Structure 1
Amino acid sequence: MTEQLLRAESVRPAVAVYGASGHTGRFVVRELSRRGFTAIAIGRDAAKLAAAGFPAGVRQVVASLEDPASLARALDGAAAVINCAGPFLDTAEPLVSAALQARIHYLDVTAEQGSAQATFARYASAAEAAGVVVIPAMGFYGGLSDLLATAAMGDWSRADEARIGIALDSWEPTEGTRVTGRRNTARRLTLSGGTLQPLADLAPNAVWTFAEPFGAQEMVELPFTEAVLIGRHLQLSELHTYLNTAPLRDLRDAATPAPVAADASGRSAQTFLVEVEIRRGSTLRRAAARGRDIYAITAPLVVEAAERILSTETAQGGVFAPGALFDAANFLVALAPDLVLS
């Protein structure tokens, strides 16, 4: 009997991944398998799922957001679903609805502010009533900066300003990134006067002096979903997010190739550094994290979140920013060695 109980306790719940055959989705499926979860790989194309090279034991299911019955069947037996299929302006709403119907947790990795905002606005009450945790933007853009800002904030209840600097040494965009960019044309929002406001006309490029190897970088103010997340739970008067201009030139160049694997894990050689400064009066607090491949790092970020949700029996339902739900400092430490903190 004891052996049977131990075996039962060692079986981890199933987690579904929608958009599993995409670039980020494949990283997420592999990370789930590495951690011992049963992964359900969901996609619209059986041939792409078959060619994705998933680890042994991954269940492959064809389902479409336009066919709720097929989606319900695909989610059967899952405890959570991770949405990796952009544009999230098109995929988040039907998949959150399906997750709530199935009473399973939902996470996505959107960098689209409009999608994250809509998830908070439309599903907060329903998720709370269902006892389901919903986390939008649990990826490199959005979730990572929210966690770093929360960790830097520490015991402060409010602050005057947060500045986030993101440096990439290059950007080889996936086709999904390009499609999302064409779909996501809304004006960017940031925190001003304590509320989300449209970003003012772009000022002349600033310079941010990062730690080495990046050093001084030309930057442009470009908020992503971290503005939506941070605005939900941190009391900040102003938020400014900057991205260096070099990777934007790569992104805007149609000839820039898609990511190329540089190691056995499938990660590209791209490197990143995110630095956060929180100011209250004349006092500054800082947090920073570096790593490789913005698509690959999204996998441990979102899977760590799913693991923490599923390991908490009394999880409160609702739509959350990661920094509002998790111990941010502890969460970031758990991502080593994929993420290096400073």
Structure 2
Amino acid sequence: MTEINDRPDAERAKPVVAVFGAYGHTARFVTAELLERGWTPVLSGRDPEKLEAAAAAHPGVEWRVASIDTPDSLDRAIAGTALVINCAGPFGDTAPPLIEAALRAGIHYLDVTGETLVAIDTFDAYRDDPRVKEAGVVVAPVMAFYGALGDLLATVAIGDWPEADEISIAVALDSWHPTRGTLLASERRAGQRVIFADHHLQVLSGDEPPPTGTWAFSAPFGTQDVVGQFSTTDVITISKHLDTPRINAFLNTAPLKDLSDPDPKGPQAADASGRSAQVFLVEVVVHRGDEQRRAAARGRDIYAFTAPIVVEAAERILTGRSRAAGVVTAGEMFDAEDFLRSLPLDELTADLPSPGNG
């Protein structure tokens, strides 16, 4: 009798991945990405009608109703899976019960939140939790456009430097038609800004306006007006493993008018995949003394782009290509250069060796 583990790799069934909040905008891209790569998703969420509709787009995909208010339902939703991807906001409500369910099941947990305060709470609550170590699992919040991409770019840019005097990250968007989840997260944040200065994360109130200035982006943006102290989860992830006393974060002001649209319509599909036409550019500059290093990435649709990030992370974790377990960031877990090269970017620039040359 041939045991499963004795079968050739090509014959082994891939582990099942649960997607919670599966009928949300970003989750639909995550499900499609999993299926395209040959993984088996199980869709879950609290609304049976929306869940059934999401599953109907992928005949044969299993779906399970679950609520964060009912631990037993979460246990049933992730039973038999090896990893859960949480796509359901507000993440302050969904992350704690779903992480607890993942720990009970002994499986990996990833989420795609861009909520800075939630990310801080997750790291604080679980980074030293002995249950995570005992289970030997990964708990990785903010494995998304915000939180992971800037962290990977900063990890590449700092390279072999053991520390840096300052790390700056600047994000440019040509437009930003937010999802309902983004708008709700913004309302909950109520203007609070997370910064990293003097080696510490700090939460500033919204009483004082953030600083403004300009940033000389590369094409197609050029020099842009920017707002400083941009409250992005990249500040949190970078601070967790790169040695620097200060992290600056900037966002160009051009798309901010979209966030205040009184009648938001959300991202609009521009192709058959459902991606919008939105263009993004993320640039990281690392300073040490008189030296500086840069890394940048340009692509399309920050919501759709989250899918290849989180699914690539899941795939690497489940195939043994993660450098660390526990509550970790993308830059800690993976070969940052190799991970960036795997993503469907329109352009990636940095002091990277050419493939095959080192």
TM over 0.5: yes
**In the alignment, does 2:267 pair up with 1:259?**
yes
Specify the alignment match of 2:348 in structure 1. 341
Between the aligned partners of 2:61 and 2:185, the Cα distance in structure 1 is: 27
Matched-pair contact (CA < 8 Å) for 1:19–1:25: yes
Between the aligned partners of 2:321 and 2:92, the Cα distance in structure 1 is: 31
One-letter code of the match for 2:75? A
Specify the alignment match of 2:87 in structure 1. 84
One-letter code of the match for 2:174? D
User: Which shows bigger deviation, 125-134 or 77-86?
Assistant: 125-134
Between the aligned partners of 1:235 and 1:73, the Cα distance in structure 2 is: 41
Between the aligned partners of 1:74 and 1:321, the Cα distance in structure 2 is: 25
- After TM superposition, the score normalised by the length of structure 1 is 0.95
Between the aligned partners of 2:90 and 2:325, the Cα distance in structure 1 is: 25
Specify the alignment match of 2:35 in structure 1. 33
Deviations 1:98-133 (A, max 9, x none): 100100000001111121111112122221121110
Judged with a 3 Å threshold, the aligned counterparts in structure 2 of structure 1 residues 264 and 314 are, in CA distance, closer, same or farther, namely closer
Q: Secondary structure at the match of 1:331?
A: helix
* Matches for 1:146-161 after TM superposition, within 5 Å: 146-161=151-166
Aligned-pair CA distance for 1:198: 3.3
Specify the alignment match of 2:145 in structure 1. 140
- After TM superposition, the score normalised by the length of structure 2 is 0.90
Aligned-pair CA distance for 1:292: 0.6
Specify the alignment match of 1:214 in structure 2. 221
Specify the alignment match of 1:74 in structure 2. 77
List gaps (5 residues or longer) in structure 2: 350-358
Specify the alignment match of 1:198 in structure 2. 203
**In the alignment, does 2:106 pair up with 1:107?**
no
Runs of 4+ in 1 over 3 A off after TM superposition: 1-4, 6-10, 198-204, 313-317
Between the aligned partners of 2:318 and 2:299, the Cα distance in structure 1 is: 26
**In the alignment, does 2:324 pair up with 1:322?**
no
**In the alignment, does 2:302 pair up with 1:299?**
no
Specify the alignment match of 1:229 in structure 2. 237
Specify the alignment match of 2:356 in structure 1. none
Aligned-pair CA distance for 1:238: 0.9
Matched-pair contact (CA < 8 Å) for 2:150–2:169: yes
% identity of equivalent residues: 52
User: Which shows bigger deviation, 311-320 or 61-70?
Assistant: 311-320
The total of aligned residue pairs comes to 341
Deviations 1:132-157 (A, max 9, x none): 10101011111111111111111111
* Matches for 1:163-202 after TM superposition, within 5 Å: 163-185=168-190, 187-199=192-204, 201-202=208-209
Between the aligned partners of 1:2 and 1:325, the Cα distance in structure 2 is: 31
Matched-pair contact (CA < 8 Å) for 1:83–1:106: yes
User: Which shows bigger deviation, 133-142 or 49-58?
Assistant: 49-58
